[in-house]
Amino acid sequence: MQKREALEFDILFVGAGPANLASAIHLQRLLKRHNATAANPLEPSIAVIEKGRYAGAHLLSGALLDPRALDEFFPDYRAKGCPVEATVSKESIWFLQSKRKFAVPFIPEPFSNKNSLIVSLSRLGAWMAEQAENEGVQLFDNTAASAPFMENGKLTGIITDDKGIGKDGNSKTNFEPGLLLKAKAIVIGEGSDGSLTRQLSMHFPSISAAQRYETGVKETWEIPEERITAGEVHHTFGFPLESDVYGGGWLYAFSPTLVSVGCISSVGHDSPVCDPHLNLQRFKLHPLIANILKSGKMVESGARTITSGGLDAMPPLCGPGYLLTGESAGMVNMQRHKGIHLAMKSGTIAAETLFEALLHNDFSTGRLKSSEERFRNSWAWEELHAARNYRKAFDKGLYSGLVQAGLQLGIPGLSLKTTQLTLPGFTETPSFNPKKKKIALPVIPEFRADGMRTFSKERSLFSSGVMHEENQPCHLVIKREDIAEICLKKCKKEFANPCQHFCPAGVYEITTEPVPALKLNPSNCLHCKTCEIADPYGIITWTTPEGGGGPGYKLS
Ligand code: SF4
């Protein structure tokens, strides 16, 4: 076994997203309040590690923020300079056909974004990280959690990425082994489909609940004035998605001259040739969006998967030595298309649990389990419970979903006949059949990006800030024999190699010359995790590249 330097902390957070940063800030504030009057003050060492090259680099979301959780744990957030781009001032929901639009006449309460804030999640994450550091939390960016460290069936540490290993697997002159970071409790908030969470699920199978996922692709645009007002919000369904592919589009105005535009597409079981990047490019051609973006300039682009299984797909919030927060715990409400407020709430629940554990110096699973009860008694559980069957209602397509979603307005959580997932998403991918419209390639061959309004995957990557150390082992692991037998034979025949379509960064290419081969471009990877989820055979394993690699979002 590799000899590693070990560092010890009391509490270690894996991932600097809104859940863990909210948790670290809230915990420090609880400790400060306690220490102000305590005879024996508590001064635990608390650290956050982040695989991005700075806090916020890998954060991407819509992002409409319901400020409820922020108000609770950080009521002075505005006074402290929280980067709020706008407050929602006007909102619409549209059903789109390719050239036409139909406004939904009223916005039902669960879909309303009244009082929500428009934020850039990467900017919000960077600001929260600064606040956490001001509170005394140590932040280590450029540091990926490569593997769990287990002792006696308990998670007691994590191993960080080795740096300086070449493509061939040999150490380079700058080789530095990863560290062993040990802690009394480890809080995992890695976002959707985290690689540490996946490895942990091998030790604790209850973590690997049958989660479902969607992929969001987003761009930020500078536009001429007088098209839109700050705080304007548009949500759409219909075009460009076929009625049996779940998803929809959005356009949010940060200011009269800066907007976020994006499209969510279901990955995996709805359509093996679903191309989330292409869906966004087509969405921008709809007159509703095209008229707003006309003569504008795309300034940032990115992609990320979203957990969408809701309450029924949530794993237990804790286990021996660890707590799960944010999307690692499945904290997304698809009915509201929101998760940041739930992520923050899960973080504060973890903080209160850890505060109690520190007070009693008891980090047993029994003590950590109080997080489950806190969640069960919170507004977050109530909200997720009411929305528990929303996403499932669309399993039989848009129209049946709309009917059920309408009925759920009267009876929250109503389920007519929905599918309870019991297996990981990739096992539900239907075989490719070019004769069936729903999974055929209706537009891909004809679509040509114009470079002004629509962009190729290569061009979009320029605006994502993506970079990796080139000379390192490929972090997308597919066994050689699987490439030969599955990718180039079985998958080609059954699914027409959907990896070429669903990866928003064009990382996967099937080449034919000089011999058929799967060519990987791992340096382009946006860490969105679509491939690991949507691969119909489950043969792709996403491992952590050297810390600091990946996108460099600043506005997403
Ligand atoms: Fe996303 Fe996988 Fe493509 Fe990376 S390789 S951008 S994780 S689909």
Cα of 468 to ligand 1 centre, how many Å?
Answer: 13
> What integer pLDDT is reported at residue 13 of this predicted model?
98
- C-beta neighbour count of 151 within 10 angstroms: 11
**pLDDT band for position 442 (50/70/90)?**
very low
Position with higher pLDDT, 531 vs 63: 531
Mean pLDDT of 118-137: 98
The span from the CA of 197 to the CA of 184, in Å, is 18
> Cα-flanking dihedrals φ and ψ of residue 550, to 5°?
110, -170
The span from the CA of 129 to the CA of 23, in Å, is 11
**pLDDT band for position 423 (50/70/90)?**
very low
CA of 528, closest atom in ligand 1? 1
pLDDT at 502 over 60: yes
pLDDT tens by residue, 359-404? 999 999 999 999 999 999 999 999 999 999 898 888 888 878 887 7
Task: Indicate the average pLDDT of the chain.
Answer: 92
Provide residues with CB under 6 Å of ligand 1: 476, 503-505, 507, 525-531, 542
The span from the CA of 436 to the CA of 84, in Å, is 45
> What integer pLDDT is reported at residue 424 of this predicted model?
45
The span from the CA of 136 to the CA of 42, in Å, is 13
> What integer pLDDT is reported at residue 422 of this predicted model?
44
Mean pLDDT of 462-466: 97
**pLDDT band for position 206 (50/70/90)?**
confident
Residue with the smallest CA separation from ligand 1 atom 3 is 503
- Cis bond before residue 63 (omega within 30° of 0): yes
- What structural domains and CATH numbers belong to the chain? 6-74+124-208+315-386 (3.50.50.60), 84-118+211-307 (3.30.9.90), 457-542 (3.30.70.20)
Position with higher pLDDT, 228 vs 416: 228
Cα of 63 to ligand 1 centre, how many Å?
Answer: 21
The span from the CA of 219 to the CA of 299, in Å, is 7
Name the residue of 529, 533, 535, 541 whose CB sits within 8 Å of the most ligand 1 atoms, as the mutation to test its pocket.
Answer: 529
CA of 502, closest atom in ligand 1? 8
Token pair listed for 35: 């220490």
CA of 520, closest atom in ligand 1? 5
> Cα-flanking dihedrals φ and ψ of residue 148, to 5°?
-75, 155
Cα of 533 to ligand 1 centre, how many Å?
Answer: 10
Cα of 526 to ligand 1 centre, how many Å?
Answer: 6
Cα of 508 to ligand 1 centre, how many Å?
Answer: 9
pLDDT at 102 over 90: yes
CA of 529, closest atom in ligand 1? 7
Cα of 476 to ligand 1 centre, how many Å?
Answer: 8
Cα of 499 to ligand 1 centre, how many Å?
Answer: 9
**pLDDT band for position 411 (50/70/90)?**
confident
pLDDT tens by residue, 277-333? 999 999 999 999 999 999 999 999 999 999 999 999 999 999 999 999 999 999 999
Residue with the smallest CA separation from ligand 1 atom 1 is 528
SS3 330: coil
pLDDT tens by residue, 274-286? 899 999 999 999 9
Residue with the smallest CA separation from ligand 1 atom 7 is 529
Q: DSSP string spanning 62-128?
A: --EE-THHHHHH-TTTTTTT--EEEE--EEEEEEE-SS-EEE-SS--GGG--TT-EEE-HHHHHHHH
Cα of 76 to ligand 1 centre, how many Å?
Answer: 38
> What integer pLDDT is reported at residue 108 of this predicted model?
87
The span from the CA of 520 to the CA of 154, in Å, is 36
